Structure 1
Amino acid sequence: MTDGLRADEEARAHRLVRIGEPPRTRGEALRKLVWVAPWLVFLTSPVADLLHGGHATPVGAAGWTGLAAFTGIYLALVFRNMSRPLSPAAVYTMVAALEVLTVALSLTFGEAWLGLFVYVSVCCGITFPLRLAYWTIPLNTAALLLVGWRVGEETAWGLFLVVLLVGYSMTGVRQLIHTTVALRRARATVAQLAANEERLRMARDLHDLLGHSLSLITLKSELAGRMLPDHPDRAAQQVADIEQVSRQALVDVRAAVTGYRRARLATELAGTQVALTAAGIAADIPVEPDLTGVGEESESALAWALREAVTNVVRHSGARRCTVELLRRQTLAGPVAELSVEDDGSAADDGTGVAPPGVAGGGAEEPGNGLTGLTERLEKAGGTLEAGRVRGGFRLVARVPADRPAPVDSGA
C-alpha cells in the first residue's frame, strides 16, 4: 500500500487512472482524457478571440488551423506519450513545433493567445529529460515575456509565474509516474520471488521428509525380496520395518501439509482487500497486523473468522462499506487480540449462530462452516466469538489470547 492512502482509496485510484500505463479499454482512455481536459482552459481566450475578434475570413481560417494543429500536437504529447512513449527525436520536434506555433499565433493575433505558452511548459516538463527540462522551461518563460513585450506586457507578466511553475510542477508529476511504475514492477518481482521461494521450500521439505524414508523402503524391499525364498521369517521382519517406515513417513507428510495449509492472517487480509474491491465494497483494512503474543493456532482461528465473515459480507450483506480492525485489549483474563468485521449491509447473517446458505462451502452444517464452526474453532484456541446486528449493519468480533511469550533471541 502507498503511504497516505487506505487500501480502498488506492484500489479506487488504480481503477480510475492507471498512471503510467496504457489504457486497456475505451473507458480508461476516456478517463485519462478527462484528466488532461481541464488544462485546455487556456484555449478559451484564443477561441473567443477567433469568434469575436473581428478577424478577416482568411486570417480566421489560418487561426483555426493553427489552433487545431497546436491542440493536436499537445494532446499527442501529454496523452499518448505518457502511455506509449514517442522517440526522443519525435518529442523534440513536436515541442519545437508547439513553440513556433505559439510565438507565431501570439504575434499574429495578440495577447489573448499568450496562454499557449503554458502548454509548451507542460510539454517540456512532462516529456523532456530533467536536465533539459530545467533549461527549456525558463527559456519558454523568457519567450513569453519577449512576445508579451510586443503584444501585451501586462498579460505576459500575469502569466509569468504560471508558465514557470507549471512547467516545474510537471517534472514532479513525471517523476511520480516513473516512481509509481517502478513500484508496481518491484511489487510484481517481489511476489514472484516469494512464490519461487515457497516452491523451493516445499521441494526441500518434501525431499527431507521423503528422501530418507523412500530410500530405506527401497533398500528393505530389496532385502525382503532376496530373503523371501530361504529366510521367510527375516523377510517378514523387513516387511514389518517397511510398514513402520511408511506409516511414519505418512505422519510426517500430513504434519507438513497441515503447516502449509494453516491459514495466515496477513494472507487473509490481502485476500479480503481483493474480494471486497471486486465486489464493489469500500474496505478499511489494516495493512500490517500486530500478532505479538498470538500463537499459530490462534492466528489460524482469526484468519478463518475473517474469511467466513468477509464471505458473508460479499455474498449476502448488500453492504457498501466493510471495516476490519485488529486490536489488542487487556482483559481480566489477560491480553487478547480482537478481530472485528463490521459492514453496513441489511442482509447479513441474522445472528442466530448459523451462516446463511451458501456461505463457505454451500452452507452445509459441518465443523468449520458458519458461525457455529467458527465458535468451535475459536473455543479450541481459547477464544470467543460474538456476532450480531449493530448500527444498521452486522458486526462479528473474534477474540483469542495474546499472552504467548515472545521468542527469546539467544544471540547465536
Structure 2
Amino acid sequence: MIRLLWVGIWMAYMTAPVSDLLDGGHHPVATALGCLGLLTFLTAYCRLLFRPAGRPLDLRKAGGALVAMAALAAALALTLGDSWLVLFVYVSVACGAVLPLKAARLTVPLVTVVLMLVGLTAGDAPHLLAVLGIPALLGGFAMSGVRQLVRTTRALREARATVAHLAANEERLRLARDLHDLLGHSLSLITLKSELAGRLLPDQPEQAGRQVADIERVSRQALVDVREAVSGFRRPTLEAEAAGARIALTAAGMAADLGRTADGHPDLPPDEEGALAWALREGITNVVRHSGARRCTVTLTEAGGELCLTISDDGRGPEGPPGNGLSGLSERLQLAGGRLETGTGEQGGFVLRAYVALSRRATASELASPTPG
C-alpha cells in the first residue's frame, strides 16, 4: 500500500494522453494503436514497480524494459503529439525506483535529456518542456531517494534485531556464569559440611549441630546470591570471597594461607575487584572439589600496572581440558580487561593466576607483602 501511494502520485500526469485519446482528434486506427501502446507502457511500468519485494531484481531484464518503455514513449510522442511526452516522466520514475543508486544518477538525467530532444522534434513549446522536464528529473531522484530510505530503514531494523539478540545472548551468558560460580561454590561447601556433620553426629552432637547451622546459613546466602544474580546486581568483593574461601578450605580439612587477600587494593576499580572475587571463588571451589590437596595458598601481588591473584595448591594438578567454570572465568576477566593463566606449579599441584589492570601505578609500599593467615 505504501508503494502504491508513492507510485500513485505520478498517475496524475496520465490524464494528458488519456484526454488525447478521448477527444477524437486521431484516426480510429491511430487511436487503437495509441490505446494498445499506452496499455503496454502501463503494464511494463507496473510490473517494474509492483514486483514482489522478496524477489531479486534482474538488472538486465529491468534495463531492457526501461529501454523499451523509453522507445515506446518516444514513438507515441512523435506520432500522436506532445501530450504523450508525459510518459517520459514515468520512465524517469521507474529508473529511480528499480535501478541502483549509481545507475539512477546517470539514467534519470539521460531520460530528461531524451524528453527534451523528443519534445523539440515534435514541435512542443519550450514552456511545456520545462513543465515536464523538471518533474521528470526531480521525480526520478525522489524515487531513488525513497528507495534508499527504505533500504536504510530495513537495515536499521535488522541491526536493531541483531543488537537485541546479542544483548539477550550476553545476558544469558552472564546469568549462566553467575549461577555456575555461585551454586558450584555453595553446593560444594554444603556437601562438605553435610559429610562433616554426618561424621560428628554420633559422638559429637554439639559440633554436628554447629555444622548444620552453617549449612543453613550457606543455603540462605546462596538463595540471596542467586536472586541477586538473576536481578543483575551481584558484584562480589574480595573481602567476602576471602572469608568464604577460609570457611570452605577449613571444612575440607586443608591448611589455608590467604595472606592479605581480603584487603584488596586502593586503586582497584569495582568491576576489576568483582572479576578477581569471581576468580577467587572459582579457584577455591576447584581446589576443594578436585585437587585433593592438603594446603592452598592465595596471594595478591602487583606487577607492571596489573594486580595478580594467584591460587596454588599441592594437590594432583591439572587433569584434562578446562571446564565450564574456568572458561566462564576467562570470559569474565576479559570483560574487565584482564586475563587468566592456569598450569602446574613449580612444586606440583595446580596454579591459577587472574590479572586485572589497576587504575594507576601504585608504589610498592601500598601493597603489603602476603603473610600467613
User: Superposition pairs for residues 219-230 of structure 1, below 5 Å?
Assistant: 219-228=192-201
Could you tell me which runs of 5 or more consecutive residues in structure 1 were left unpaired when the two chains were aligned.
1-28, 261-409
- Partner SS for 1:96: helix
2:36 alignment partner, one of 51, 65, 88: 65
TM-score by length of structure 2 reads: 0.57
User: Superposition pairs for residues 319-398 of structure 1, below 5 Å?
Assistant: none
The residue number in structure 1 matching 2:139 is 166
2:62 alignment partner, one of 67, 72, 91: 91
Structure 1 vs Structure 2: percent identity of aligned residues?
57
Deviation at 1:152, TM superposition (A): 3.2
1:186 alignment partner, one of 142, 159, 164: 159
Which whole-Å CA distance do the structure 2 matches of 1:226 and 1:68 have between them? 97
Q: Does 1:110 align with 2:81?
A: yes
Could you tell me which runs of 5 or more consecutive residues in structure 2 were left unpaired when the two chains were aligned.
234-357, 361-373
Which whole-Å CA distance do the structure 2 matches of 1:41 and 1:33 have between them? 13
The residue number in structure 1 matching 2:346 is none
Deviation at 1:38, TM superposition (A): 2.0
- Alpha carbons 1:124, 1:137 under 8 Å: kept: yes
Which whole-Å CA distance do the structure 2 matches of 1:81 and 1:88 have between them? 15
User: Superposition pairs for residues 295-334 of structure 1, below 5 Å?
Assistant: none
1:14-47 superposed Cα distances (whole Å, 9 cap, x missing partner): xxxxxxxxxxxxxxx4x54233212111111111
The residue number in structure 1 matching 2:99 is 128
- Alpha carbons 1:36, 1:79 under 8 Å: kept: no
Which whole-Å CA distance do the structure 2 matches of 1:183 and 1:136 have between them? 28
- Partner SS for 2:41: helix
C-alpha change, 1:91 and 1:200, in structure 2 (3 Å) is: same
Deviation at 1:236, TM superposition (A): 3.7
Which whole-Å CA distance do the structure 2 matches of 1:91 and 1:144 have between them? 20
C-alpha change, 1:56 and 1:210, in structure 2 (3 Å) is: same
Larger radius of gyration: 2
Which amino acid in 1 is paired with 2:219? S
Which amino acid in 2 is paired with 1:45? A
Task: Give the CA RMSD over aligned residues.
Answer: 2.6
- Partner SS for 1:153: coil
- Partner SS for 1:80: coil
The residue number in structure 1 matching 2:112 is 141
Which whole-Å CA distance do the structure 1 matches of 2:54 and 2:146 have between them? 14
Which whole-Å CA distance do the structure 2 matches of 1:168 and 1:248 have between them? 66
Which whole-Å CA distance do the structure 1 matches of 2:154 and 2:10 have between them? 24
The residue number in structure 1 matching 2:10 is 39
1:238-260 superposed Cα distances (whole Å, 9 cap, x missing partner): 32321121122123334445667
The residue number in structure 2 matching 1:78 is 49
- Alpha carbons 2:88, 2:115 under 8 Å: kept: yes
Which whole-Å CA distance do the structure 2 matches of 1:94 and 1:230 have between them? 98
The residue number in structure 1 matching 2:277 is none
Which amino acid in 2 is paired with 1:188? A
The residue number in structure 2 matching 1:299 is none
The residue number in structure 2 matching 1:203 is 176
The residue number in structure 2 matching 1:156 is 129
C-alpha change, 1:103 and 1:204, in structure 2 (3 Å) is: same
C-alpha change, 1:224 and 1:139, in structure 2 (3 Å) is: same
Tell me whether 92-101 or 200-209 shows the greater mean CA deviation: 200-209
- Alpha carbons 1:221, 1:239 under 8 Å: kept: yes
- Alpha carbons 1:106, 1:151 under 8 Å: kept: yes
1:82-135 superposed Cα distances (whole Å, 9 cap, x missing partner): 564422222212212211211121122110000010111111122112222222
- Alpha carbons 2:77, 2:83 under 8 Å: kept: yes
Deviation at 1:78, TM superposition (A): 2.1
Which whole-Å CA distance do the structure 2 matches of 1:193 and 1:161 have between them? 47
Paired positions, count: 234
